[in-house]
Amino acid sequence: MLKRVHFGPSLLPFLLVAPQIAITIVFFIWPASQALYQSLLVEDAFGLKTEFVWFQNYSELFDDELYFDTVYRTAFFSSMVAFLSMSSALLLAGMADRVIKGAKVYRTFLIWPYAVAPVVAGALWMFMFDPTLGIVAYFLHAMGSNWNFRVNGDEAMALVIFAAAWKQISYNFLFFLAGMQAIPKSLIEAAAIDGAGPGRRFWTIIFPLLSPTTFFLLVMNIVYAFFDTFGIIHAVTKGGPAKATEILVYKVYNDGFIGLDLGGSAAQSVVLMTIVIVLTVIQFRYIENKVKY
Amino acid sequence: MAEILLADVYKSYGKTEVIHGVDWHIEDSEFVVIVGPSGCGKSTLLRMIAGLETITNGEISIGGRVVNDLEPAQRDIAMVFQNYALYPHMSVYNNMAYGLKIKGVPKAEIDQRVREAADRLEIGEYLGRSPRQLSGGQRQRVAMGRAIVRKPSVFLFDEPLSNLDAKLRVQMRLEIKKLQERLGITSVYVTHDQVEAMTLGHRLMILNDGYVEQLGTPIEIYENPLTKFVAGFIGSPSMNFIETRLEEDATTVKFSHKTSFRLAGSYPQFKGRNVSIGIRPEHFFFAPDNPEAIPFRAEVVEHLGADTLLHGTVDEGESELIVRFNGISTVTQGETVPVYIDPANIHIFDAQNGKRLEVE
C-alpha cells in the first residue's frame, strides 16, 4: 500500500481538477443522465406531449427482432474490423521493425491515415468504389464483377469494413511497432541460435510477448468499430442498402433523428453506454492484472 | 566437438573498420577467452562466429565447415548472453526445451535431456517456474542449461557473468570451468575482466581496438607480454610503467636523476632510445642489504589482508609506483623502504610503438 500524502486544507487542488470535472459533467454526466431520463419517456413526433412510461422502451427494444439483427451485424462488423486492421497492422509493424534504411519515411507514411477524419476516409472509399464513377469499381467491372454496393448489402458491408479497418491500421501499427521495439533483441537472437526461423520466431517469441499490446488494441478496436465508425458509415452507405450496414450506433441516430423515436433511441444509447462501460472495466482489470509474463 | 578457424577476418560497418584481420586456430575442446577493454570489438567477433553479424572479409569455419553464409541455427552452436535472454513467457523447462523442440527431437528424449541438464546445474526444482521468479544466479544457470541441452559443438559466452554480484561471479566462474572440462565442448568466452580471462581460458586473445595484441596461454601472456597494452591490461594491480631512456651502455635505465637500474640483458640496437620500463607490483621485494636497492617512499598503505599494496614514489615523486608485498606489511605511511626487482622480471617496451624489446 502506498502511504497517503496529507495536504492541508487548501483550495488549490480543487481548482486544479475543476476544469476536468467541468468537462466531464458537461460532456458526459449531463448528457448521459439526459439519455437515461429520456429512455424512460415516450414522446410524439412533434414534441407536443411526453409520457413517462418506465421501462417500456427497453422491453420493446428487447422484443424487437430487428434490434437483435443489428446487434449481430455490429458484432460481425466490429470483429471483422478489429481482425483486419490488427492483422494488417501486425504484418506491417513486423516488416517495419526489420527495415533499417528509410525506416522513418516508411513509418511516417504508415501513420498518415490516422490523421484522416472518419467522414473524409468514408468519402474517399465511397468515391473509389462508386459503381458509376469509382476507379476501383471500374477495374472490378472490367474483371467481370457486378460490383454495386448501393444495391448489394454484402458488398456494402465489405466496403465499410475495409474503410473502417484501413483507417484504424495506423493506430494499431504504432502500438505494435512500439511493442516490438520493446522486445530485447537478444531474445530474438537467442531464438535464432536455437534454430527458429523468422516465422517461428514471430509466433513463438514476438507474438506472445506482444500479448498485452494485442489485448489493449483488441478492446480499443472494438470500441472504435462500435462508435467511431459512424462517420464512415454515414458517408458511404447511410446504413443501407436496406439496413445492411446499420450498426448499433447508426441505428441510434437513425431511429432518434430520422425516425424521431427519441425514447427508443435513448434506450439504445443507454445499452451502448453499458457496453462501453463493460469494455472499459474489462480493459482496466485485465490489463492491470492478467496480461503479464 | 569441433575446432574453429578464423582466417583473416575483417568487420566493417560502412566505412568504419572495427575488426582488422584476425587469424586464430581454436583447437577442439579448447576453452579460449577473448579479452579486451569495452569497445575493442570482442563481442562483435563472437557474434560473427555465432552468425549474428555478417563477416565483411575473411573466413570462419567451425568443424571444418565454412560458416560465412550459414544462419546461426545451422552452425551447431549455443550462446549464453550477458542478459541471459531467457524467454520471459516460457517456463524454465520450456526455455531449455525450445531448441530441441524446433529440431524435432522426440518428446521423451527432450524430457530426459532437460532433466539431466537441470540436475547437473542444480535447477531441477525450478523447472516449472518462469524466469522472472528466479534470482540472477538461477537465471544464469538456466541460460547455461539452455545451451548444454542442445549438445552443440561450440559454446559461445558473451560476458555471461557481468550481471552477477562479485561472490556469485567467482562461484559461477568455477562452475563454468568445471562444466566445460567435463563436457569437453569447444568454448569461446568473451569478457572485459582479466581475472575471468586468466582463470578460465586455456588460451587468450587480447584484443584492442580491433587489433589482436597477443595470443597465448595465461602464463605466457603474464610473463611475456608482447606489447605495453597487454602488459598493462593483464595483472591486478596493473604493471608500473616508467618512461625513460636506454643509456648508451645499452643495459642501464634511469629511474630518476639519481637512481638507475641494470637490465638483465643488453639491447645495443636500441641504445639511446626512449623506452617504457614495466615492473609488476608483485615483483618488488624488500631488500635491506642490497646496495643496488631503490629507495621507495610509501605514501598510501592499503592492507588487503593477504597482501599489502603500497602506493608511493622514488626520489621525491619523480616516478610513481605501486608495490605489493605478501602478507601484512609493517611499512607505515611516509616510510622509505629499500626495494629491489630481479632484473629478469623487468619488461622493456619501445616508447613509440609499445612493442616489447627483445634481447639481441
Supply the CATH number for residue A132's domain: 1.10.3720.10
Grid cell locating A259: 425516425
Q: Which residues contact B220 (CB under 8 A, 6 or more apart)?
A: none
Helix (H, G, I), strand (E, B) or coil at B158: strand
Helix (H, G, I), strand (E, B) or coil at B122: coil
Q: Which residues contact B2 (CB under 8 A, 6 or more apart)?
A: B28, B62, B63, B64, B76, B153, B154, B186
Q: Which residue among A186, A191, A193 places its CB closest to the CB of B78?
A: A193
Helix (H, G, I), strand (E, B) or coil at A4: coil
d(CA A127, CA A124): 5
- Find the closest chain B residue to A189 by CA distance: B52
Residue A70 lies in a domain: yes
Confidence of residue A155 (pLDDT cuts 50, 70, 90): confident
Work out the number of other CB atoms within 10 angstroms of the CB of residue A147. Answer: 20
Answer whether A232's CB lies under 8 Å from A119's CB.
yes
Q: At what angle do helices A118-129 and A153-181 cross, to 10 degrees?
A: 130
- Whether B87 and A191 lie within 8 Å, measured CB to CB: yes
pTM across the whole model: 0.78
pLDDT tens profile B169-224:
888 889 889 888 888 889 999 999 888 899 999 999 999 988 889 999 999 999 99
Helix (H, G, I), strand (E, B) or coil at B298: strand
Residue A20 lies in a domain: no
Residue A184 lies in a domain: yes
Testing the interface with B: which of A101, A193, A214, A290 to mutate, by most B Cβ within 10 A?
A193
Single-letter amino acid code for the residue at B292: E
Q: Over 90: is that where the pLDDT of B167 sits?
A: no
pLDDT tens profile B102-138:
888 888 889 899 998 888 888 888 888 888 888 888 8
The pLDDT score that the predictor gives to residue A183 is 87
pLDDT tens profile B16-37:
888 888 889 888 889 999 999 8
Question: How many Cα atoms sit within 13 Å of A113 on the Cβ side?
Answer: 20
Q: Which residue among A190, A196, A209 places its CB closest to the CB of B102?
A: A196
The stretch B320-345 carries a mean pLDDT of 87
Beta bridge pairs of residue B276: B243, B349
Residue A276 lies in a domain: yes
Residue A67 lies in a domain: yes
d(CA B222, CA B231): 7
- What secondary structure letter does DSSP report for B164? S
Residue A13 lies in a domain: no
ipTM exceeding cut-off 0.90 for this assembly: no
Work out the number of other CB atoms within 10 angstroms of the CB of residue B9. Answer: 22
The pLDDT score that the predictor gives to residue A292 is 47
pLDDT above 90 covers what percent of chain B?
A: 14
The stretch A268-276 carries a mean pLDDT of 86
Q: Which residue among A184, A195, A211 places its CB closest to the CB of B102?
A: A195
pLDDT tens profile A96-116:
877 767 778 877 888 888 888
Where does residue B206 fall: left (phi above 0), alpha (psi -120 to 50 degrees), or beta otherwise?
A: beta
Residue A22 lies in a domain: no
The stretch A14-22 carries a mean pLDDT of 92
Q: Which residue among A187, A192, A195 places its CB closest to the CB of B87?
A: A187
The stretch A166-179 carries a mean pLDDT of 88
The stretch A38-56 carries a mean pLDDT of 75
Residue A35 lies in a domain: no
Confidence of residue B357 (pLDDT cuts 50, 70, 90): confident
The stretch A218-235 carries a mean pLDDT of 85
- Whether A196 and B85 lie within 8 Å, measured CB to CB: no
- Whether B73 and A184 lie within 8 Å, measured CB to CB: no
Confidence of residue A241 (pLDDT cuts 50, 70, 90): confident
Question: Which residue shows C-alpha cell 427508443?
Answer: A264
Testing the interface with A: which of B87, B96, B134, B157 to mutate, by most A Cβ within 10 A?
B87
Number of domains in chain A: 1
Residue A173 lies in domain: 52-290
Q: Over 60: is that where the pLDDT of A2 sits?
A: no
Does the beta carbon of A209 lie under 8 angstroms from any beta carbon of chain B? yes
The stretch B290-315 carries a mean pLDDT of 87
Does the beta carbon of A190 lie under 8 angstroms from any beta carbon of chain B? yes
Question: Which residue shows C-alpha cell 651502455?
Answer: B249
Answer whether B19's CB lies under 8 Å from B44's CB.
yes
